[in-house]
Each structure stands twice: as structure tokens, then as C-alpha cells.
């Protein structure tokens, strides 16, 4: 395996909370980073600027994660700018919430397109194009264990992400590429806070054995571990939730 100074990571959803923090963490570890966005170009540019200001290497690239042509172009950017791809960190996803009985089916279809097809598209490209010694890191959720009401469509999509991750790990036998899923619990991000009262947020934090919400940094720490030294962790779902479940 090459040292991190020669390694290249693509972070999808790099304009989001977990994606942006993870991109910065990987850059600090020596990776060149392609910071992907699905529409948040301004925030992605800020992430890249911060990485470059710290002496790191990074570029921005956009595109729909469920569009195979756009994502092939994303991998092309990494190869053109930095010479190849070693790590895919797939954080891009959406999370509309509603009880199963009330969920709009168009919204359900959108969740599956972005979260399931999007994961399949980028993982397929990574399986074809990552260099030996690489890592594919998908984002799942601890909701698959917590089974919280209103999360049915989202949990269904992330259950599919976990299944794909574990199967792909075994399909890549002999390639020296690890595949794992990271499953955060309640995490203090804008996506989490949306639509929640302060009282509910405090109750969720108090219910955790650690007495707080997770942070994007907590998840980025595990992503950096899987992207770097964790070569014997493969085909696993790592729950990063402070012991919530």
C-alpha cells in the first residue's frame, strides 16, 4: 500500500456536514481529495479552499450520484487531476421522513434513487477503477437498528446499502480493496436538526449512554481509520453511535 501522500480519495456529498468534515480529515492525513457535490457548489468550494489553505490538495466536482455518466466523469476528474483513485467515501444521500402509511410514493422513489441506485452506481465504478490497497466506505445509519418511526423509507434504503457493501466486499476477493459501511447514530448535523424541537433534540441526546449527540468528527474519525490503517476490517457495518443500540 502506498503512503497517504500518494493516495487519492473521492468524497461524495462533500458539501454536507459529514462529507465536508471527512474530506478535511482525509486531506489532513495526506490524501488528495475530490470533493463532490450534488448541487451545493459554494459549500464544496469552501471545503476545497480550506484544504488548500492548509497545504492539502483538493478539487471540486459535481453531479447526480444516480447518473452513471456524471459519476464516471467524477472518477475521470480524480484520475486526471491526481493520477487515480484509492478511496471512495460515499456520504451523499437524502432523508425525507414520514410514517409508512403517509409517505408520498414519489418521495419514496426519490429516496431509493439517490440512496440505493446512487450507492450502486458509485460502488460499481469504484469496483472497476480503484487501485489495489483501496477502500470503499459507504454511509448507512444506526436507524436500521433503532427502528425509529417515520424513518421507514430511509432505513429501507440504508438496509440496501449495507447489503450491497457486504456483498461487494466478497466480490472483490483478490483485489486488495476493502468495503465497509459506517452507520452513524443521531448526529448533530443540519439534516438531523431539521423539523425537530429543542426538547426532542435534548431528549435524544440524553438517551444516549454517552449523554450527547454524535458529531461529524466522530464519524470522520472512523472513515479515516477505514481509509487508512484498517486493512483487516472488511465486509463490516461499523455502528458509530455512542452505544445507542
Q: Which residues contact 134 (CB under 8 A, 6 or more apart)?
A: 85, 86, 87, 88, 126, 176, 177, 178
Q: Which of 224, 217, 218 is nearest to 242 (CA)?
A: 218
In the three-class reduction of DSSP (H, G, I as helix; E, B as strand; rest coil), residue 64 is classed as coil
Cell 466486499 locates to 169
- State the DSSP code for 110: H
The total of other beta-carbon atoms located within 10 Å of residue 216's CB is 21
C-alpha 231/C-alpha 176 separation (Å) is: 9
Q: Which residues contact 142 (CB under 8 A, 6 or more apart)?
A: 183, 184, 185, 186, 239, 240, 241, 244, 245
Give me the helix-helix angle, 118-129 and 68-82, nearest 10°. 40
What DSSP line would sit under 23-61, residue for residue?
A: HHHHHHTT-EEEEEESS-HHHHHHHHHHHHHTT--EEEE
Active-site positions read 154
Amino acid at each position: 500500500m502506498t503512503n497517504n501522500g500518494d493516495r487519492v480519495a473521492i468524497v461524495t456529498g462533500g458539501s454536507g456536514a459529514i462529507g465536508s468534515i471527512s474530506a478535511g480529515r482525509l486531506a489532513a492525513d495526506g490524501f488528495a481529495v475530490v470533493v463532490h457535490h450534488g448541487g451545493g457548489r459554494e459549500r464544496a468550494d469552501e471545503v476545497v479552499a480550506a484544504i488548500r489553505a492548509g497545504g492539502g490538495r483538493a478539487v471540486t466536482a459535481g453531479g447526480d450520484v444516480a447518473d452513471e455518466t456524471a459519476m464516471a466523469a467524477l472518477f475521470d476528474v480524480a484520475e486526471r487531476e491526481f493520477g487515480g483513485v484509492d478511496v471512495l467515501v460515499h456520504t451523499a444521500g437524502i432523508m425525507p421522513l414520514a410514517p409508512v402509511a403517509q409517505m408520498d410514493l414519489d418521495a419514496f422513489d426519490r429516496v431509493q434513487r439517490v440512496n440505493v441506485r446512487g450507492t450502486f452506481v458509485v460502488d460499481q465504478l469504484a469496483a472497476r477503477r480503484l487501485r489495489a490497497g483501496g477502500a470503499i466506505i459507504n454511509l448507512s445509519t444506526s436507524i436500521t437498528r433503532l427502528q425509529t418511526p417515520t424513518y421507514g423509507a430511509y432505513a429501507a434504503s440504508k438496509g440496501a446499502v449495507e447489503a450491497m457493501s457486504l456483498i461487494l466486499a466478497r466480490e472483490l476477493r483478490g483485489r486488495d480493496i476493502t468495503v465497509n459501511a459506517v452507520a452513524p447514530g443521531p448526529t448533530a448535523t443540519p439534516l438531523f436538526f431539521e423539523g425537530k424541537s429543542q426538547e426532542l433534540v435534548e431528549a435524544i441526546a440524553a438517551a444516549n449512554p454517552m449523554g450527547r449527540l454524535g458529531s461529524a468528527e466522530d464519524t470522520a474519525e472512523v472513515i479515516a481509520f477505514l481509509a487508512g490503517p484498517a486493512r483487516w476490517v472488511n465486509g463490516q457495518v461499523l455502528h458509530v453511535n455512542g452505544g445507542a443500540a
